[in-house]
Amino acid sequence: MSTAMNFGNKSFQPRPPDKGSFPLDHFGECKRFKEKFMKCLRENDFENALCRNESKEYLECRMERHLMAQEPLEKLGFGDLVHGQSGTKDQS
């Protein structure tokens, strides 16, 4: 019974997300990259492994425009695309 009385005494301590804030792209600064990524997903039955270049470009756009915290691409799982990529580079 005493535990029911203690609920009012406990205070919830919110914790920020592990990677920091992820603000919305209100001005559509990365919309072109997002649309390219979404198109790739649709064309590949939402198999995200087939759209890694598009995903990397989208995250790079967000980091460049301070819409997410700067992170090394290797830490985000794109180390193989950064080192020795023979594909095309984005046109931003």
Q: What is the pLDDT of residues 44-63, one digit of tens each?
A: 999 999 999 999 999 999 99
Nearest to 57 by CA among 76, 45, 47: 76
Give yes or no for residue 83 having a pLDDT over 80: no
- What was the pLDDT predicted at 19? 63
The two three-digit tokens of residue 14, written as one number: 């919110």
Inter-helix orientation angle 52-64/31-43, to 10°: 160
User: pTM to 2 decimals?
Assistant: 0.67
- What was the pLDDT predicted at 92? 39
Compute the distance between CA of residue 78 and CA of residue 71 in angstroms, rounded to an integer.
11
- What was the pLDDT predicted at 87? 44
What is the tens place of the pLDDT at every residue in 4-15?
555 666 677 766
- What was the pLDDT predicted at 91? 41
